Amino acid sequence: MAKRRLHRPGRRPKNHRNKCETAFSIIKRCFGEAILATSVKMQNKEIIFRLLAYNARKAAASLLLEVFYGAGARKTL
């Protein structure tokens, strides 16, 4: 449904590559860019744990902002 909304007739298609590259840049900056594992299986696990840590960090930051500004602030936006 979201894809249909983005590709409506008359609407110019958008390039979302910059969003992905921003996330990858943040992950590399915060958690390092080197993969330390030697086997492919452990390399995949290491990447998954970095992504989980990134998502947990984003969720914690969002929660802190909501607590700091109050739940009512989000409803007005």
Residuewise pLDDT in 10s, the chain (77 residues): 666 666 666 666 667 778 888 888 999 999 888 999 999 999 999 999 999 999 999 999 888 888 877 765 555 44
- Residue 10 resides in a domain: no
Contact 51, 58 (CB under 8 A): no
Residue 19 lies in a domain: no
**Which of 20-23's residues contact partners 24+ apart within 8 Å by CB, and which partners?**
23/54
Domain that includes residue 54, residue range: 36-77
CA 55 – CA 22 distance, rounded (Å): 14
**Predicted TM-score (pTM) above 0.85:** no
Q: Answer whether residue 45 is part of any domain.
A: yes
Say what the pLDDT of residue 51 is.
Answer: 93
Nearest Cα to Cα of residue 35 among 11, 20, 22, 51: 51
Q: How buried is residue 46: exposed, middle or buried, by Cβ count under 10 Å (0-12/13-18/19+)? A: middle
Number of domains in the chain: 1
For residue 54 the two structure tokens come to 């990134």
